[in-house]
Structure 1
Amino acid sequence: LSWQYFQGALSDGHQCFESKGSAIDMEILARICQKIAKFPYTNKYGAYAVKKKEFLHYALDYLQHGIALSGPSEYNIAKRMASCLYDLDELVTATEWMKRALALCPYVKIYDCKITCLYLLKRYGIESKINGGDKPYYLLREIIYILLKCTKQQANTDEVYEYIIRTDYSDLCSLINDVVTVKQLLKQTGLDIITDILQCETAIKKLDTGRQKQLEQFKEQISSVVPLDDIEMVLEEEFEQSSAPIPLSLETQLVPDGYQYSFFISHSNRDSDWVNNILLFELEKKFSDGDEAFKGCIADRDFVPGKTIIRNITEAIRKSCKIILVLTRNFVASPWRENEMERALMKVPGFKK
C-alpha cells in the first residue's frame, strides 16, 4: 500500500512538473523520488539504505529545475540537495549544500546544525586518512563555528553534542585527539566547545565503560592545551568562503551570436563535483553588478540521451563559442578526453593535426 502511495504521488508530482510548478513543488517531487529510492527504508539516510539509485538522480534533476526557477538561495532546495547527495555517498558536495542551507536560514535550526556537523565530522575522518597525514583542520574550525553559532543564539547545543557522540563517535574521537596532541589549533572559545562536548553527560552515560574512560582522558588532557591566542582566526569568514557564493539574481545568460552556448567544459567524470558545483556555478551566475552570467554546456546536464558520446561531444563543441579543458591527472587518464581535446583544438585558427 505504501509503495502504491509513493507511485501515485510521483505521478501527480510529474504532472505538476510538466505544468511548470514552482521551486517548492520541485523540492516535494525530489523528496518523493528520494523516498522511493530507499523504499522501504524511507526514514534512513546514507548510501547503505538506497535500493534504486536512479530515483536519486531523478531527484537531483528536479532540484536543478527548482534552482533554475528560484536560484540556489531557496533553503528547502539546498537542504534537499544535500540530503540526496549524501544518499549517493557524495559527501563533499552534500556538505557544501548543507552549509548553504544553514547559512540561508534566518535562525538556527538544531536539526540542520546536527546534520551539518555530522557531514563535516565524517569528512574530517575520511580526509584525515587519505591526505597522507595532512589533517583537514579547516573542517575542525567549521564545526566549531557552527557550534559557536548555536551557543550565541541560545540553541540547545547539548542536543547537537549528544547526536554527534552517538552517531559518529570514532571520527569525533579522532578530531578531539588532534586537538589535544597538536598544539595551538583553537582559540579558547573553540577549546571551550570541545570541553562542553566532553561534559555532555546525557550522551556519555549511554556509552560503554571503555568509551567513557576514553572521553574522561580527553577531558583531563584538554585542560592543559594552550589556546591559539596569538593568531587571529576569523571563523565566520572561513566558513563563508568555503561555501559556494550566492548569486545576486538570475540574470539573462550571455551567449555570443551564432552559438547555443558560451562555453563547453571538457573534464573527467572524477572531477564532476568541482566542475558542476564550483566552476559551472561561478560561470553561470551573476555575483556583482559588473559581472556577467554565461551559458555553459556540460555532459551530465546537456548531452542528449540516445546519441553516441562522440556525436554529443562534436555537437557540443560546434555549438559552443569557447572550450574549457579542465586539465587534471584524471583528465589525462580518460580515454575520451584525447578526442575532446583534439576536436577543441580543431576550432583554433591555424591549428594542424
Structure 2
Amino acid sequence: MAESVAIVPGLSNLNLNIAFENDMQLIADSVEGLNKRLTEEHIIVHNVLENMIAILKNKSSRGKIESREYLENILRRDPRNLNALADIEKLSRTLHRTTEADEYKSRLENILQGQTANDLRTKSICLMEQGYAILNEESANIEHISKNRLSESYRMLLSEHKKGTGRRKDYLQRCVYHNKQALSNLQLAIECKRQSELLTRRITALEKFEQAKGLFDVTIENIIWTFYIGVALNRKYDSIKDLSNEDGRDRFQEKKDVTLKATEIFWKISTNKGTTNQNFIIYQARSYALIGHILIRRKNFFLTSDKNYTFTSDQLFQLFMNNPISAFERAQVMNRSDTFILNRYGRALWNLSEQHRASKDKKDFLHRAQRLLSSSINQSSLNWFGYSTRMSVRKDLGHAYFGYNKSKARTFFELAVNDGYQCFISKGTPRSICQLVEICQFLAKFPDIREYGFKYVKEHQKRYLLNALDYLNFGLQQGGPTNYFLAYHMGTVLYDLDEIKSAVDWMKRAVSLSNTKSNIALKLACRYMIRRYMNEVDEQPNVVYLLKEFVFTMMKGKEKYEKIKDVYTFIFKHEREAFMRVIADIFKIPHILDGPRVKLITECVQTCTLLLTNDIENSDIFLEYIRAVPDLKLMDDIEPQLQEMSLSNSVPVGPVNKHSSEGFVYDFFVSHSHKDADWVLSRLVADLESAFTEDDVVLRGCIADRDFEPGKIIFENIENSLRKSSKIILVITNNFVNSYWCQFETNQALLESMESRKDCIIPLYLEACDIPDKLRHITYADFTNDDDYIFEIMKLKRALLPE
C-alpha cells in the first residue's frame, strides 16, 4: 500500500490561493487570520499553519527572509517535517544557498525512501497536513488566473508589435503567435477540467487524508485528524450538491453516503469519554455543532434506517433529530467563545428561519442569528463566513420588515451591503458577490425592490448599481465568464442601468449556461429583447434582425425548457402592450418564420389569448392572427437560391476593431446557408463581436447581409470579402451542404488557403451531417452540443485572434 502512494512534499505544490495572491493587503489579512488560528487550533496543525504563513511571506522579496524563519522554526520543533523540508529546500535554491538546499534535499530523500514505521508515520503526517491546508484554503482557479495574465501579455505584445520595425517586429510576431497558442491550449485545459468527474477537478483534502491513512493511520494516536476527515467528507457533500445543480442529476445516494459517514465521525468524537483535555473538548463541541447543522439541512437522510450506522438509534441522537438546536446548545455549554461554533449556530438559525412562514417566528430566528454572528465577528474581524452569513440574515430581515416598516427594512439592507463589502474585500466568491449585487439592486430601486428596469432606479441611489457592476466584473475576472449566476446578475444590473443591448447579451449567455430546471434567464432575456425592440423600432428603420433574434431565442428556449408557456405568460404579464406590438410586427414580415417558428408563435398567441378574457378587442386580434397562419408566406416557401443571392434582412452595424491582423479589414468571414442565418447572427456573430470580460476582445466579422457592397456581382463580393478576412468560418449543416452559394464560398476559401494563407479555414459543425470530403482534413469547431456553446465560442475566439 505504501509504495502505491505518490508523495510530493511541500505546500508550495498544492496550488493554494495563497501561493498566487498578489494583493499585499489580502496577504497581510491572510497572515493575521492564520496567526489567530494558531491560538485556536490544536497543536498538531501548528506546523502546517506556520508553513502556510511562510508561503504567504514568500510573495515579496523582503518576505523571503521571514518565510525562511518560519520554516526553520517548524524544523526546530520537528526536524523530520517533510512539507517544511521541501519548501525550505525550494526557497534556499531561489536565494542561491545551494549547499543548504542540497542538505535539505538529502534529509528529505532519506525519509521518503525509508520504510520504517517512523518513516511511514512521517509521510502520513505530511499528507494529513496537505489535506488540512487544502481544506482550509481552497485551491486557486489557476487556469483563470493564468488566462487573465496571458491575455494581458497578449494585448501588450500586440501593441508593441504594431509599433515595432525590422527584426524586433519579427521577434514580437513570434511572441504574439506563441502567446496566442498558449491561450488556446489553456482554454482546452479549462474545458477538460469542466468535463472531469466530480472531485477529480482538483486535488481534494479528502483524497490526501485517505492516502495518509493508507500509509499509517495517525488518527489512532490523535483523534483530531479524524475530525478534519469528517469536515472533508462534509465538504464533499457540498461538491456533490453543486455538481447536481450544474448537470441536473439527483445523486441522492452519493449525498446520503457522505452525510452519514461525516455524521458518524462527529458522533464518535462528540461522545468520546476517553479524555478531559481542554483542546480535545473544543473539537467535541465543534462536532456537536456540525451534527446540529447537518440535521437542520439534511434530516431526510436519517429518516430511513441504515444498519451500518447504529448511532442513529441512540437516544441522544434521536433528541438532536427532534430538536437540532439542542446540539448547538450543548456545544455552546462546552465552549461559548469559539467562532467556529458561533458561525455554524448563527447559520443554522438562519436556515431554520427559512422553514418558518410566521413572521414573528421568522424574525426571532433571524435576530438570534444576527446576535450570534455579530459575537463571532467581534471575536475575529477576519471572518468571511461570519460576514457572509450575516449578510444573508440581514437581507432576510430587510424583507421581513419591508411590509410595515420600510425605514427599518432599508437599514437592514444597508447593513447587509456593509457585510457584503467585507466579504468582497476578503474572499469574494461568486455566490457572495451575487448576493451582494442583489442587495445593491434593492437599495438602488428602494422602495421598488421587486421591479425591473431603469425607471425604478433613484438617481441619488444609482451608485449602488455602479458598485454592483464593479463587484461583478471582479467576480468574472476571478472565476471566468462561465458562471451562470454571475452572467445572470450582470444582465439584470445592466438592464437596471438602461444598458439594454449589453443586458440582452449577458442574459442570453445566462440562458446558455442555465440548467433545464429554471427558465428565469429566458424570461428576462425575452423581456429585455422586447424592450430593446420597442426602443429602436420607431427610430431605426431596419430592425428586423431584433425580431429574428427574439423568435430564435424563444425557439432555443422551447428546445431547452419544459415549461415554455410560463415564459409566454411572464412576458405578457410584464410587457403586455410591447409584446402585442412584437407579435403584430412578426406577422407583418412572415418570411422570417419557418414551420417550427410558426408553431411556436401560434402556441404563444394561443396562451396569451387565454389571458385576454376581459379584453375582447385584443383577443379578437390574436384570434385573427391564428386564422391567418395557413396563408403566410414562410421562409421555407421562398426560393433558396434567390434568397442566398439577395441582401435581405437588416443586421446591426459591425464593430470597429483595432486588433485585426495586419493587411486585413475583417477578423473573420462567415459562410452559411440563409436557413441558418438566425443562429449565425443572433449567437455566433453577436458573441464574436462582443467583449464579455476585461481580457476579452471584440472581433470584426464579415457577413453577406451586412458587409457585401451593393451593386457588385455576388461572385466579386465573395472573392473580395475572403481576401479581406483573416479567417474563414464555414458553418456546416445539411443546409450548407445543399447550398450552391455555400459550396462556391467553400471552394474559394480553399483556393485562398492554398494560394496565400495556410490554416485560414475553420469549419464549424452546427449539427451532425455528412462532412464534405474537401474539409475532412481540417480541424473543426464542434458546436453540435448546445450545452458546450459558451466554451466552444471562447475557444473559437482564441483561434480568431490576430497572429
Give the TM-score taking structure 1 as reference length: 0.67
Counterparts in 2 of 1:180 and 1:289: CA distance versus 1, 3 Å = closer
Are 1:53 and 2:53 an aligned pair? no
- Paired with 1:288 and 1:106, the residues of 2 have a C-alpha distance of 26
Q: Distance in 2 between matches of 1:20 and 1:275?
A: 29
Match of 2:530 among 103, 121, 130: 121
Give the corresponding residue for 1:282. 697
Task: Say if 1:195 and 1:90 are closer, same or farther in 2 by CA, change over 3 A.
Answer: same
Matched letter for residue 223 of structure 1: P
Pair 1:173 & 2:173 matched: no
For 1:130, the aligned partner's letter is E
Provide the secondary structure at the position in 1 that maps to 2:687: coil
Counterpart amino acid of residue 186 in structure 1: L
* Aligned-pair CA distance for 1:291: 4.7
- In the other structure, the counterpart of 1:220 is 627
Aligned-partner Cα distance in 1 for 2:687–2:800: 19
Specify every segment of 5 or more residues in structure 2 that has no aligned partner in the other structure, as ranges.
1-407, 641-673, 700-793
CA RMSD of aligned residues (A): 2.8
Instruction: Determine whether 1:143 maps to 2:558.
Output: no
The Cα of 1:172 is off from its aligned counterpart by 2.5
Secondary structure of 1:288's aligned partner = helix
Q: 1:206 to 1:59 in 2, by over 3 A?
A: farther
CA, structure 1 residues 113+206, in 2 after alignment: closer, same or farther (shift >3 Å)?
farther
Q: Which structure shows the higher helix fraction?
A: 2
Paired residue for 1:77, among 486, 490, 503? 486
Q: Which amino acid aligns with 2:444?
A: A
CA contact 1:108–1:150 (8 Å) conserved in 2: no
SS where residue 45 of structure 1 aligns?
coil
Identity of aligned residues (%): 27
Aligned to 1:130: 539
- SS of 1:233's equivalent in the other structure is helix
- Per-residue deviation at 1:98? 0.5
Q: Verify the 8 A CA contact 2:483 2:513 in the aligned structure 1.
A: yes
Question: Does the residue aligned with 2:488 lie in a helix, a strand or coil?
Answer: helix
Residue-by-residue CA offset, 1:264-302 (whole Å, 9 max, x unaligned): xxxxxxxxxx99759973169984268589xxxxxxxxx
**Compared with structure 1, are the counterparts of its residues 192 and 288 closer, same or farther at alpha carbon in structure 2 (3 Å cutoff)?**
same
Match of 1:188 among 589, 595, 600: 595
Instruction: Name the CA distance, whole Å, in 2 between partners of 1:72 and 1:148.
Output: 24
State the AA in 2 paired with 1:200: T
Of the three residues 683, 690, 698, the one matched with 1:240 is 683
Q: CA separation of 1:168/1:203 partners in 2, compared to 1, >3 Å: closer, same or farther?
A: farther
Measured after TM superposition, the shift of residue 195 of structure 1 is 1.0
What letter corresponds to residue 30 of structure 1 in structure 2?
Answer: V
Secondary structure in 2 matching 1:155: coil
SS, match of residue 491 in structure 2: helix
Q: Does the CA-based 8 Å contact 1:108-1:153 persist in structure 2?
A: no
CA contact (8 A) 1:91 1:123 kept: yes
What is the letter of the counterpart of residue 236 of structure 1?
A: W
Q: 2:426 aligned with 1:23, yes or no?
A: no
Cα shift at 1:140: 2.0
Q: Does the aligned pair in 2 maintain the 1:23–1:66 contact within 8 Å? A: yes
Cα distance change on mapping 1:84 and 1:122 into 2, 3 Å? same
8 Å contact from structure 1 (residues 244, 278) kept in 2: no
The 8 Å contact of residues 23 and 65 in structure 1, kept in 2 or not, is answered as no
For 1:282, what is the secondary structure of its paired residue? Answer: coil
Bigger Rg over Cα = 2
1:1-353 alignment to 2 at 5 Å?
1-51=408-458, 52-107=461-516, 109-131=518-540, 133-134=541-542, 136-153=543-560, 155-200=562-607, 203-229=610-636, 230=638, 231=640, 232-234=674-676, 235-244=678-687, 281-282=696-697, 287-288=797-798, 291=801
Q: Which runs of 5+ in 1 are unaligned?
A: 246-273, 294-353
Length-normalised TM-score, structure 2: 0.31
Q: 1:93–1:277: 8 Å Cα contact kept in structure 2?
A: no
**Counterparts of 1:154 and 1:80 in 2: how far apart (Å)?**
20
Higher relative CO (Cα under 8 Å, sequence separation at least 6) belongs to 1
Please give the alpha-carbon distance, in whole angstroms, between the structure 2 residues aligned to 1:121 and 1:161.
Answer: 12
Cα distance 1:139–1:289, how it changes in 2: closer, same or farther (>3 A)?
A: closer
